[in-house]
Chains A and B, each alone.
Chain A
Amino acid sequence: MSHYDEMTCLLYLDGQLDREHAVELSTHIETCGECRTLLAALESESRLLRSALTEEEESVPARLLEYAPEAKKREAAPLAWLATLGFAGSGAFTLWTWFVDPWQQQLNQAGFGGDSFLAMLFFGGVFWKGWETMVNLTELLAAVTLVILAVALFRRGWRRTPTVAVVLGALACLLVLPPAASAAEIRKGTDVQVDKGEVVKNDLIATGRSVKIEGTVEGDLIVFCQNLTMSETAHVTGDVLAFAQFVRIKGQVDGNVRSISNLTTLAGRVTKNVSSFSQTFELDSRSEIGGSLMFFTAMGTLDGRVGRDLIGFGAEHRLDGFIGGSATLKGERLTIGPSAEIAGKTKFTGEKQPSVSERAKLGSPIEVTIVTRRPNYANPSYYWRQTLRWGAAFMLGLVVALLMPGFLRETMREGDSYGLSLGAGVLALVVTPVAAVIACITIVGLAVGISGVLAWIVAIYASQVFVGAFIGQKLLGPAETTGALVGRLAVGLLVVRVAGMLPYAGTLAWLIVIVFGLGLVTLAIVKRSRPEAAAI
């Protein structure tokens, strides 16, 4: 007895045989056990294939479930859009001409050279000296970890061109950054000391609980510690860069001094310029600065001599020393004492009328601008400024929405759990700078720490974008196209801006926006770094 071949059996099972053949086969299997078994086996193979293929053993990624991709459609740019873009453009321009540019000019006057302040602070000169010495295995590992983290974070978007462009751009920057560097000596320990008479013929990087310099450093001194003391006998021929809780400089510095600290006391001689970010800054009467002085501080007391200009930002300033150039101060209060002498112009912008001693010698009458914290609602220019700021924020939002719409949507989803977002926001607001400082102290993490702080500052500004998008979505419903998303962003930012303009409540509104926005970003990043999928 002949049997049917496997092909025919399969076609029969799949209903592909013509009627005549099908009837023939079904008659045959009534009497043929082997063909019946073959048919049964093929059928169970089909069943197995079907069940293996349709079994939902794997979840569908959450991002796929969330939104439908839009088709590319050409839409005419409506008038409102053009107006919005116009505002955005002028906002960005204004931001630059009103804030960034004058700042740079002021900083240039203060002796920061021709380069921009940021470039100077982060990418230039003293920061990167000793780079080569620091590149050992630990730093390499840290760098590799960072890269892996970044890749993991954006893995899902890896093939998308903007991401690749951004990553490659960042890599290119990294390659360009470290300039030719000279080796530096590194000293670590609880108490680091350069004894009297000792000469370090190199740049010195010192970390520890307390760092005491009594001898000579023929190069730059970079210090991360709790307590930095440079005694009268100390002499640094290069710059001093200090991250410390307390900084006391009594000796001589031939270069510049930059300090970030709780308390900075200067009682020695600095040939070039001084800049300080401190809670309290004191310029002792014995001190002398050859160049300019710039400080950001809550309390600034200046009794010493400053050869050139003075620029100060802070709450309270007391000036009782000599300023060879002009003095520009911003803050709440200013007191100019009897021994004060200012050769150039004196400008003060603050909340209260400064108190100026009659015996103080001022090159020209003090120019005072009194500002009140309360915005001037009657002045049309106030609204114009607000519109421009809204435009600037929208511009940033546009970049975010176009470059990483997926991330923006992810942050918007986080907003539904208000408590969690606010909590994460508070955490990010407080922990990031602390972590960055800790990272800086370990030196290894210097670049990480600085990038962390930069990212933190950017995130604080950008928080309004994420909150704006979230609010816009709540008001107008979910956005499916990027265009709709951008529209919701514009509306949401407007709401944020108006809330921030409210008398008294405005400050609170801004605080909430910052905390909430940081929370959204943090949660979205955390979720991204732990890719999970929603089960359906």
Chain B
Amino acid sequence: MPGAEFTETIARARSGNAEAWGDLYKQYAPAIFRFCRRALPAREDAEDATTEIFMKVRDKLDQYDATRPFTAWLYKVSANHCWDILRRRRIRQDLETGEVETLPLEHPDPGQLDQLMEESTNLQVRSALDKLPARARMALVLRYYSDMSYDEIAGALGVRRAFVGVVLLRARHQLREILIGKKITGAEARGAV
């Protein structure tokens, strides 16, 4: 949607125009569903969350600052919603204290890291992501799926701005460990045959 047209759609949706709202929904529902799918454990959860997020969005449309990107706002609402769901289910037991983040990270061997990235497939990365603790996964999704800035991620996750980089790097390390584990088991499996 070109800018002017989009601004008008938003304005009409705000004034309660069902058609404009339908247009907005149709345009963004798939992206938000995918976002939820990445952030939440089960497909059914993602489906329900998508519906709920759009109900919230419609209620809160007045609060959207039209001078800023709509997608960023939409992802922020979505991130908050998914984060709430995870918190309600208490699967945020991990990393809540932040203690783990203060542990020093081992410096990676750049060559090995590069090789690991070369060998890993999208599918492997996704299944590894599913095994990550909720906050680590959420941080990666916000950054690399939603393209949110560090500021926005800090707001969505409720952490200090300076801490976002640590959360992201920690998440990458955890992801690598899972991927390496997979490589070994994969090689073992091949060797066994």
Contact = CB atoms under 8 A, between A and B. Distances in A.
A447 B63 CA distance: 55
B110 A37 contact: yes
Given A6-B105, A7-B169, A10-B169, A34 B110 contact: yes
Contacts of B107: 5-6
A60 B166 contact: no
B28 to A, nearest CB: 10
Interface string A429-468: 0000000000000000000000000000000000000000
Interface residues of A, number: 47
A50 interface: yes
B169 A44 contact: no
A469 B55 CA distance: 24
Contact of A53 (B24, B38, B168): B38
Interface string A14-57: 10100000000000000000110110111011101111111111
B114 A37 contact: yes
A446 to B, nearest CB: 35
B22 A68 contact: yes
A481 B107 CA distance: 55
Interface in B49-64: 50-52, 54-55, 58-59
Contact of B150 (A14, A63, A155): A14
Contact of B118 (A44, A63, A70): A44
Interface stretch (B68-76, B89-97, B121-129): B121-129
Binding site secondary structure of chain B: helix
Interface residues of B, number: 50
B120 interface: yes
Interface stretch (B2-10, B77-85, B139-147, B181-189): B139-147
A49 B55 contact: no
Interface string A58-72: 101101110111111
Nearest to A11: B165
Contact of B141 (A14, A40, A53, A55): A53
A191 interface: no
B122 to A, nearest CB: 4
A38 B50 CA distance: 38
B47 A38 contact: no
A530 interface: no
B30 interface: yes
B58 A37 contact: no
B165 A7 contact: yes
A38 B113 contact: yes
Contact of B165 (A10, A41, A70): A10
B110 A48 contact: no
A132 interface: no
B33 A64 contact: yes
A198 interface: no
Contacts of A69: 25, 51-52, 54-55, 58
A37 B111 contact: yes
Contacts of A44: 114, 117-118
Given A52-B129, A156-B44, A40 B122 contact: no
A480 interface: yes
Nearest to B162: A16
Nearest to A40: B114
B117 A71 contact: no
A480 B18 contact: yes
Contact of B47 (A35, A70, A156, A536): A156
Interface in B8-29: 18, 21-22, 24-26, 29
Contact of A49 (B51, B108, B144): B144
A10 B168 contact: yes
B177 interface: no
Given A41-B113, A60-B33, A65-B26, A71 B55 contact: yes
Contact of B166 (A7, A41, A45, A55): A7
A227 B130 CA distance: 63
5 A-B pairs with least C-beta separation: A68-B25, A52-B125, A37-B110, A38-B110, A41-B114
Interface of A: 5-7, 10-11, 14, 16, 34-35, 37-38, 40-42, 44-46, 48-58, 60-61, 63-65, 67-72, 155-156, 158-159, 480-481, 484, 536
11 contacts: A7-B169, A49-B172, A52-B129, A53-B141, A54-B34, A60-B29, A64-B30, A64-B47, A65-B29, A68-B24, A480-B21
Given A41-B111, A71-B59, 15 more contacts: A6-B169, A10-B168, A14-B168, A16-B165, A41-B110, A41-B113, A48-B120, A50-B145, A51-B122, A52-B123, A55-B122, A60-B29, A60-B34, A68-B29, A158-B44
Interface of B: 18, 21-22, 24-26, 29-30, 33-34, 37-38, 43-44, 47-48, 50-52, 54-55, 58-59, 105, 107-108, 110-111, 113-114, 117-118, 120, 122-123, 125-126, 129, 140-141, 143-145, 150, 165-166, 168-169, 172, 175
